[in-house]
Amino acid sequence: MNPHVSDVHEVNRGYVPSAPDVPADPVSAEVQAFIARLNSRRSGVIRLVLLPALFLLAIVLLIMLEVQLRVRRGAPSWLHQAAADRVTAFVEQYPLHLYPILAKAFEAAYLDRFIPELLADSLCVLEIAIGDGTLSQRVFPADAQVVGLDIEPYVLRHAASKPHVRRAVVCDCLSPPVAAGTFEVLVANNFLHHVTAKHTTLGAWAPMARIALFNESTPFWASSWVRPRILERLGLRRKARVAAAAMELMHLQSLQPLDELDHAVSAAWNIRDRQTYLSASTFFRCAIFSTLMRCTGPPTPQLLKRLLLGPLRWPSLALTRALAHRLVALDATEGRATDAYVSYVAESRSWRANGGFICPGCGAYLDGSDCCSGCGHQYETIDGMLFLLPRRLDHIRLDYSQVIAATVPAERL
């Protein structure tokens, strides 16, 4: 494995692989110790031992949800109805892993509501932090012309091979090398929670596209995991805050309350639509499954996935589908004050049609051969990805190995 691929340096809370001589930021000893304990427990043996508990939990929770839904009343929002329709699409990708199923079902439902209308004007879209492209492929048609940006080439190379991705660019997504007025539509899914200076990044995006669709997490994302939520319920508030901070730090996230997020967005954009979803209570129920799997997000651990889609396929998929639909239905009855996610559609106040990629070094436009018209620097394309990086991040290109890339699993998210 490339020694620098997993060496993550916090640059504005973005996923930016660090150069060898860049020290990691100091972290409190208490949080470090918690993360070390959490990581030490993740083993295939423990996952296998806990597999019966996973099925038992699924059956018990399914019964409890049936009872709760008979008592609760409330008309589901359009978003909850649409998310329920999309649950099945993610069941086989994440068997008995309820957190990514619900999160992606809601995210895809929100994007599906607005993207067809926006693509009527232009099929060309800028997607920031596209990742491996698995969610992107579900919401864009094959004839879309998506320009996908990401800082991590080992993930981006999988997105580059998908039919809807016209071009893949390795770059700094905090300040993309894109000239003002280049795109009609900008999409950024599950990226802003890695950004501390949200005002700055949202301001940098505003001149690039007329309309933006993006989502963000709130502090309830971190505090609704099993350990911090239980500690909070037991009255151990300081320990709960440490546990929530550890989750936030482990995922390189910087979470802000909803009113602060609205203010950050409104500084450069006019908010056309905003929807929140996945309450703390719903998230906690999903997180119990992730905890038993010894993972805190996608993908599902491969050992478990092979079993759940192999000899245990029928019961695992049936339970997953039933649970996911009922959890969405239950979330529709929750108050929205403790939601872990928010999605926005916003219109830029500074966009003017123009366009093109620009040199991250001098800011001049690139010509048709990806050479800077100002400083003359020639940018390189490897594995179908244009490496458009400033000098301080050029180690990402230099360290990239096509041999290692061929061994990286296609599903990373």
Query: What is each CA distance from 370 to 376, 388, 393, in whole angstroms?
Result: 10, 9, 18
Query: What is each CA distance from 310 to 28, 91, 99, 314, in whole angstroms?
Result: 42, 14, 21, 9
Averaged pLDDT score across all residues of the chain: 88
Does the structure show a pLDDT above 50 at 7? no
Query: What is each CA distance from 231 to 32, 281, 286, in whole angstroms?
Result: 18, 15, 17
Angle at Cα 14 formed by Cα 12 and Cα 16, nearest 5°? 110
State phi, psi for 11 to the nearest 5 degrees: -115, 100
Residue 336 gets which letter from DSSP? G
* Percent of the chain scoring above 70 in pLDDT: 89
DSSP letter string, 1-28: --TTTS-EEEETTEEEEPPTT-PPPP--
Q: What is the mean pLDDT of residues 304-321?
A: 95
What is the pTM assigned to this prediction? 0.88
Spatial CB neighbours of 37, under 8 Å, sequence gap ≥ 6: none
**Token output for 160:** 């580059």
d(CA 261, CA 5): 31
Q: Is 326 exposed, middle or buried (0-12, 13-18, 19+ CB in 10 A)?
A: buried
Give tens-digit pLDDT for 321-375: 999 999 999 999 999 999 999 999 999 998 887 878 999 999 999 998 999 999 9
Question: What is the dihedral sign for C-alpha 352, 356, 360, 361?
Answer: negative
The pLDDT of residue 24 is: 47
**Token output for 156:** 């981006």
CB atoms within 10 A of CB 120: 8
Does the structure show a pLDDT above 80 at 185? yes
d(CA 191, CA 171): 14
Does the structure show a pLDDT above 60 at 103? yes
Give the three-state DSSP class for 207. Answer: coil
DSSP letter string, 255-321: ---HHHHHHHHHTTEEEEEEEEEEEHHHHHHHHHHHHHTT-SSSSPPHHHHHHHTTTTHHHHHHHHH
**Token output for 1:** 């494995």
d(CA 118, CA 351): 16
Residue 413 gets which letter from DSSP? -
Q: Are strands 385-387 and 165-170 parallel, antiparallel or unpaired?
A: parallel
**Token output for 92:** 């086989």
Give tens-digit pLDDT for 286-309: 999 999 998 888 888 888 999 999
Q: What is the mean pLDDT of residues 382-404?
A: 93
Does the structure show a pLDDT above 90 at 411? no
d(CA 222, CA 340): 8
d(CA 97, CA 95): 5
Give the three-state DSSP class for 235. Answer: coil
User: Residue 124 — pLDDT band, cuts 50, 70, 90?
Assistant: confident
What domains, with CATH codes, occur in the chain? 38-352 (3.40.50.150)
Q: How far apart are the first and last CA of the chain?
A: 19
User: Residue 122 — pLDDT band, cuts 50, 70, 90?
Assistant: confident
Q: Which residue has the higher pLDDT, 37 or 288?
A: 288
Does the structure show a pLDDT above 90 at 382? yes
Query: What is each CA distance from 221 to 39, 68, 230, 254, in whole angstroms?
Result: 19, 23, 14, 11
H/E segment holding residue 182: none
Does the structure show a pLDDT above 50 at 158? yes
Q: What is the mean pLDDT of residues 216-233?
A: 97
